[in-house]
Amino acid sequence: MNEPAYGALFLFGLFGGTHCLGMCGGIVSALGMGGAPRFSLHLAYNLGRLLAYAFAGLVAGALGAALGAGGMAAAAQAPTRLALMLFANLMLLAAGLYLMGLPRILAFAEKQGQRLWRRIQPLSRRFLPVRHAGQALPLGFLWGWLPCGLVYGALGSALGSASPVLGALAMLAFGLGTLPNLLLAGFVFVRFRAAVQSRWLRRTAGVLIFTYGAYGVYQVWRTAMSLRSVI
């Protein structure tokens, strides 16, 4: 079982906030239509979004568990588990490069979710305009499935965890990182947003995440070599 890099996922969500605001900015603005933005609506919307991420992480972790086990003997499971760990750490490398200034590196993943999103998006219309938290919560859950390279990058760690619980926790860590940017987007917290969007802070976070991913790839290589020597 590969323990997800919760801290790295949180930083990825936090410093990827510019992308989040671009993707969800329209819906966040809609929460304030018809009057001043209400914190309860933003809170309910983002809670729904976090629930969607956690559910996606649970499914990805369960898939990873099925791929890594599947009734096979422990020795037969090893290559698949190593492949999952490698995939998770490669996605962390991509996440680090994204924050270091290569935003298109995760664009390929967004294309894969377009078909699902075309089915989900029409469902969100029944909750607009948003007048109370009972509408904002399901709206947030539905918009949590918006095709997003950041989300798919984090899902790589959920898949690599090979555990439904750890997968859900991994996506919650990522979701909590995105929370400040989107929760405060409807209010005037210019100083905070400016700090998070600072180029040098984003790149520093990118270097940290990339380094963590690179170390993970190295660990996978070491494990693979040790298994090879035993065989």
Helices 74-99 and 149-161 meet at what angle, rounded to 10? 160
> Model confidence over 79-88: pLDDT tens digits?
788 888 898 8
> Model confidence over 117-151: pLDDT tens digits?
899 989 988 988 888 889 999 999 999 998 888 89
Domain boundaries, the chain: 6-230
Dihedral sign (CA 141, 145, 149, 151): positive
Other C-beta atoms within 10 Å of 82: how many? 18
Using a pLDDT cut of 90, give the percent of the chain over it: 26
> Model confidence over 171-220: pLDDT tens digits?
999 999 988 877 766 554 445 555 556 778 778 888 988 998 899 899 88
**What's the pTM value of the predicted model, to 2 decimals?**
0.82
DSSP-based three-state secondary structure for 210: helix
Q: Alpha-carbon Rg of the chain, whole angstroms?
A: 19
Using a pLDDT cut of 70, give the percent of the chain over it: 78
**Residue 179 CA, distance from chain mean position:** 12
